[in-house]
Structure 1
């Protein structure tokens, strides 16, 4: 119930939907009930139980208005009696038939109008939920995505939200309308016969208990099914991303077997869910008809023995009305079974929404002023959980200078660089820009002054132009071309099929590694940030591409403050200062020449590369 109510929070503002839906639903139910109450006068006319004397008695006194069922019953009988006196039994039959047609039309009209509102509500809830989840995903820190399977996140954003729409939001009509219908039916039934209605209420809870037991088992299976589906999507995502490796290692049988196992597991769970879900509706119908049969036996005996206050036509109408209670009851049991799967999906979606971002703006965060003097890392430390990654990091970078980070893999170089744009916050110490602790300023204003070029070129399945102008919607064609020229990318772009409007495929798959990297550099140039982070930007390139990219990087770094991470030490020989990191600590620092003279770790790494 808690999950259901939280999902309904996404329907706000309720004023757009609830008032009109309530009115349409109420009117639809009232006219629907009126259809069945017309059965009594219809049967009385057909069986000749209402003659001239009875009609004259019915039409004697016009009832005074009062808001209860008796008034509407007497009011109808008054006019019905007058029609019999004036038009005869055939005229009365025509009147009843016309009233039935009008009543059915109005009942279905209001039902349709209610459905239209629910359709708008469903789209509104799903849109708000998907928007909230996607927004939260973009707010989460990078470490979250290292711990979670991408396929599982995609499942929650797509399949789970779709399941919420199909199983939860779609049943809102049932959850609201059907209980009201049942209450209205029972008010009418109690008005007709208290004894028979009480008898039926003794039998009905039995079917409800059985259906609840089935639904409980259904929810457990639904949870297993959604977890299995997320594994399937993870396998698909990894297969598509790593197809080159799969084929290179002849691993098609291996991944097919892996997929086959998960696919079979999901199919078994789905069969089990379908069996339990499909059992709910026929079982509820069987139990409901059994109750009707018991009621027919008990009530029929009373009528035959003339021990009931109901006439034969009233008893038939009572049975018909009671049988109609089974329609909303059956719809509720089916909806209750279907909703369990949606609630499981809702829980999975809400788990993402409830995940708190670790990197957030302080309540009174200000906009970071333009960078003017220096960046300082002061006693900085960082740890993933209980595992220390960086310790006692102290250094300064003056504006316009370049600091290079080198050292063995796993030494903390990339983590150190990730602290500057606040991908993570240090667990101790502080990072200051012009003396300002960056944690006191908005994340957006800090990152607006920093450009990042990574080893893996992150591009999007869009045109070359849009990839260079990423998030700079006001960029002109001249600005994009100028950035591409500085990045040594203009020549290969104009030789592409559609020039700057060439689609580059998923993750830039239509381009070479060097071309992708130069587009990333062009993107950084266009943003024109005063601070640069270059994370092994040339390590994955061939010699020719490395030369072009290195030239582009040199152009990019002009008049900018740069933090460069490099395994190829030849690329950072001209850095103003080189920091050598080992096991999360700065073990050496100085210029290229100073570190070579020191004959320490840097000199050893340089010698190893020269001998390769």
Structure 2
């Protein structure tokens, strides 16, 4: 139940919905029960030939509704006739039905508002928390499973939590109201019939016993299936190029079959609860008809025929709320299992956060300095005691064999990760002492992979500055050598570029990314060489754009091409996580070490 109440906390402000819902539900239950109770005076009016001869006395309590209505029907029949008495009874039934359904409508409206509020708060919380997690988390988790939790699991939770809350208040209230009327009619008969209800509850509980375990397996399998779908769609070119369609479809089909098998087993248990409860209900009614009928035949009960018919009608309805409660308990297992997965995502704490006393960094004036920085992925050390300086206004190139730690070193500057030991300083301030938002506001990033969104060219360039004008976006595009090809597209800057920029060439995508970095006009640029995967013509256009971008800025470049490296002010050679060499292009060539060998091979990995 701890999970359930945690999920319920997302329904805040719950008082806004709870009080109107409780009030409307109680009134709906009262009038709905009264509908059946009014059958007694209706039958009495229709079939009692002596109705207008004797006025029934008024009972001491208005809670004895059968005697109250009998008093009024006999009074009206004796004074105005049986037709007028029938009109009175039918009018009361019609008014009761109208009021019962009206209050049920208001109760359902209130609960729907609560459901939507719960979904809004839950999905907002889980998505916000995911966005605040560090990059390392996404390297270890399947994206499809995260999508499944945010989309599918949250949907299951919001319906189960609010639906169960609705059933666990409304149905018990309805059940209690039926029992109250039944006890008023005949407490002996009701006590006997109540002995059968625990037996029905025990049978149904055994049917739904394994549902939570199956629900957990169901959500996990669904998450895996979405992961395979996401991977297949993202890698569709490779899948087809390597004739791997059979392997991919087979892997997906295996999870799909497993999910279907679990769902079928769960459905069998859930659907079995309803016919079992109905069968038990019919058997109970049959037993009560026999027992109560024998009491009336032998003149041993205090009921007449019309009251007994109403008793049977009421008791036949008592299994409906009981069945709804049992169904709610079977459904809650699925909701709790989904809730555990969602809460696991919400409880995931970001490894990198702002210090409580973090200050805002407004400018970059001196240098970025690494002092004895080390970093490892698990037991694999990637950076080992790195000490380097990146002076303001300089272009620093990182080169070295693949796996040397270049990308990791660059990711430490915007605090995508934190070093295990050592310090990184910006203008003498430890990066951990400044807010990440103000730190990243000073940086522009261009990755080797062009990361774009399924939106217009304008919105992709203005991504980091939504308030940018068209003139500002055009100016950034000109610096990035992108304006000419943009105006030739179908709708210019309003052209949609497709998923991940699929409607553009590789060089065009990179120039859009460069324009995006230019627009924010950051003093510090982090460039994971953007030309390594391009053809010669595109490379020249992008390289010119990069040269424009780096003017009058501090730049840290992961370099793969000689054209970028030889113009750098400082070249840092990383090998096995250590600084192997450092200097200008000419100095390192004269040193005759790793750098010269790499230049001769002209292979620079990531």
Smaller-chain TM-score range? Answer: over 0.9
Q: Tell me if structure 2 keeps the 8 A contact 1:44–1:50.
A: no
Q: Tell me the equivalent position of 2:141.
A: 148
Cα distance in 1 for residues equivalent to 2:89 and 2:463? 70
**Deviation sequence 1:382-407 (CA, Å, 0-9, x none):** 22334332221111111111222111
Cα distance in 2 for residues equivalent to 1:393 and 1:406? 14
**Deviation sequence 1:437-493 (CA, Å, 0-9, x none):** 121222111111111110001001111111111131211111111111111111111
Which among 494, 499, 510 is matched to residue 517 of structure 1?
Answer: 510
Cα distance in 2 for residues equivalent to 1:78 and 1:266? 62
Distance 1:199 1:49, change over 3 A: farther
- Residue pairs, 1:432-451, within 5 angstroms: 432-451=425-444
Cα distance in 2 for residues equivalent to 1:138 and 1:443? 14
Q: Tell me the equivalent position of 1:198.
A: 191
Cα distance in 2 for residues equivalent to 1:471 and 1:302? 83
Deviation, structure 1 residue 526 = 0.2
- Residue pairs, 1:309-348, within 5 angstroms: 309-348=302-341
Cα distance in 2 for residues equivalent to 1:301 and 1:424? 81
SS in structure 2 opposite 1:559?
Answer: coil
1:21 matched to 2:21: yes
Q: Tell me the equivalent position of 1:46.
A: 46
Deviation, structure 1 residue 563 = 1.1
Q: Tell me if structure 1 keeps the 8 A contact 2:51–2:74.
A: no
Q: Tell me if structure 2 keeps the 8 A contact 1:58–1:81.
A: no
Q: Tell me the equivalent position of 1:58.
A: 57
Which among 99, 108, 118 is matched to residue 115 of structure 1?
Answer: 108
Cα distance in 2 for residues equivalent to 1:487 and 1:276? 62
Q: Tell me the equivalent position of 2:386.
A: 393
Which deviates more, 351-360 or 186-195? 186-195
Q: Tell me if structure 2 keeps the 8 A contact 1:379–1:430.
A: yes
Which among 354, 357, 361 is matched to residue 361 of structure 1?
Answer: 354
Cα distance in 2 for residues equivalent to 1:599 and 1:295? 102
1:417 matched to 2:416: no
Unaligned runs of 5+ in 1: none
- Residue pairs, 1:260-279, within 5 angstroms: 260-279=253-272
- Residue pairs, 1:245-284, within 5 angstroms: 245-284=238-277
Q: Tell me if structure 1 keeps the 8 A contact 2:461–2:512.
A: yes
**TM-score, length of structure 2 as denominator length:** 0.95
Q: Tell me the equivalent position of 1:405.
A: 398
1:469 matched to 2:468: no
1:8 matched to 2:8: yes
Cα distance in 2 for residues equivalent to 1:118 and 1:341? 20
**Deviation sequence 1:244-287 (CA, Å, 0-9, x none):** 11121122222222222222222222222222221111111112
**Deviation sequence 1:129-156 (CA, Å, 0-9, x none):** 1111111111111111111111111111
**Deviation sequence 1:73-107 (CA, Å, 0-9, x none):** 55544433321221222321221111111111111
**Deviation sequence 1:518-540 (CA, Å, 0-9, x none):** 11000000011111110122211
**TM-score, length of structure 1 as denominator length:** 0.94
SS in structure 1 opposite 2:81?
Answer: helix
Aligned residues: 605
Q: Tell me the equivalent position of 2:35.
A: 35
Distance 1:419 1:299, change over 3 A: same
Cα distance in 2 for residues equivalent to 1:148 and 1:472? 30
What RMSD, in angstroms, separates the aligned Cα atoms of the two structures? 2.1
Unaligned runs of 5+ in 2: none
Deviation, structure 1 residue 21 = 0.9
Distance 1:296 1:385, change over 3 A: farther
